[in-house]
Structure 1
């Protein structure tokens, strides 16, 4: 029942035990009614009973027997990890002229408690809507008590609801309504610790500001800040100084970025050009491409270029002479064709080295 709240402090005044000592009743008065009302000794009542049979059906909708514990242990002790044994089980209910009665199967301990007159009243735990309505929806369980609250019934609900404050605290702390006392305590401790941490951080920041203003430990940081503000000509002058500093910082950053870019370009150009002069087979059209890539990722480009083969012997001139009826390729053309051939082989699923690609191109030219 998502729209139902449990009430754990309803007590009825009907006498649970007969006058003869030692007798244990099989039927107990669970909910006393008079003209459809359940009167209480505190200000929470009266509660309304419009359909007793409907309440009985709802009570057993999710369980075929309802526990009878001691002093509301299920609601007060169990959430703290303490024992909450059942001393009896309500197995059925009847709607009578004076309210709802329940038939109980008592445990040996429950019978002993009643026979010894340890308890004289019974207190039901009822469910009511969360919207504030006083309509009784169902009986959830009952408890043996000696301090009744409901008028006209034997029940064990206390006149004050300790759980209401606990639920209020849980709501304030952002916890669920059924949060335990331990959960609330943990949340309060965390809140306290966070407050202490925030205070410590604030004190640390004030100390840093004081140091910047030349204030000794324990000095009035606020007064020093006011003096500094006045010395700068007020808020407008202070803002102007801040703006000037920000502009200078932007100019400096721009110059630094430009210097970094120029140095990267010089380094990339020197490396790629140097490798080409060493005979590294880098196609001329790819020179600028490698220089640009080197500025972004030097290590990657240097690794890739170092894997390219070098021409052995003298570099072939750009206009090669005829040799044996065939035209030889110069270094740039050979490297370019080898690169294209290597890419074609890779597309076909054949991975070959650059040296193998060069050899294949040379063989093809013969």
Structure 2
């Protein structure tokens, strides 16, 4: 015969306010059966006495006896025959025991589900963040909380916003600022800054005749240098430009901080993935514009070269977003603290 486990005993014995309806009469709702009463009854049924049940549940014997009497009164039937100080199960007890075990088992499953969910977090990230920054964030989270269960969704900014709105992503990291209509249900917090870089293949046909400037970088460990081409907006407008697709955070910045100053820009192609833009530029199909995180290693190696556009600043803010009504578990709060939000 199954035993009442410690989790059921300790947790359910404290649920004095949780109850189940015992039925209806012409007078209205009957007094209610509590989960605590059911847990006490199960313990008495299994141990055979109120004294043993009180020890198992860490309750006084009078509290156990009182709960049993209340349960019998509310069921309007006796469950035990009292002969001296001994309790003998009657014919009603087994049927009630079976139902009580089922109810307590379901409650235990609910508690375990809550604990399971509290150790999970579903993160979302737009593609630049998801491919270049998210892995280190998740690794740091696992280092601090090895038992955390993390799943990740990666799409463009609008895809992540949509997932947050639908409460399928607990916390999203995006490159574009959510639209005004999104903020009705979404909280947003500035998280990190980034810079977009216009770039081309080294010795690109599109830069023929232009002279680069040698830039010397001083770091803590060593000096490095790289070439930067400087162009005017008018010069850039004559070059074929490869950009991200509408809905991406990168495209939002390109539209708002670059293309509005170059109305005659030659947007050759809109591409869905940053890596595809980078590889097309490497093939010298056109000029690209992506986050510094995506092309940093190629710029340092010299296979790609940066292009500075006179008078145009492509700095941007990355945003952390979440649904206003989402449940913020301890794991959620820990990750938010890790992000500095």
Structure 1 or 2, whichever has the larger Rg, is 1
Q: Report if TM-score (shorter chain) is over 0.5.
A: no
Would you tell me which structure has more strand in proportion to its own residues? Answer: 2
TM-score range, shorter chain: under 0.3
* TM score, norm. by length of structure 1: 0.24
* TM score, norm. by length of structure 2: 0.25
Structure number with the bigger relative contact order (C-alpha 8 A, sep ≥ 6) is: 2
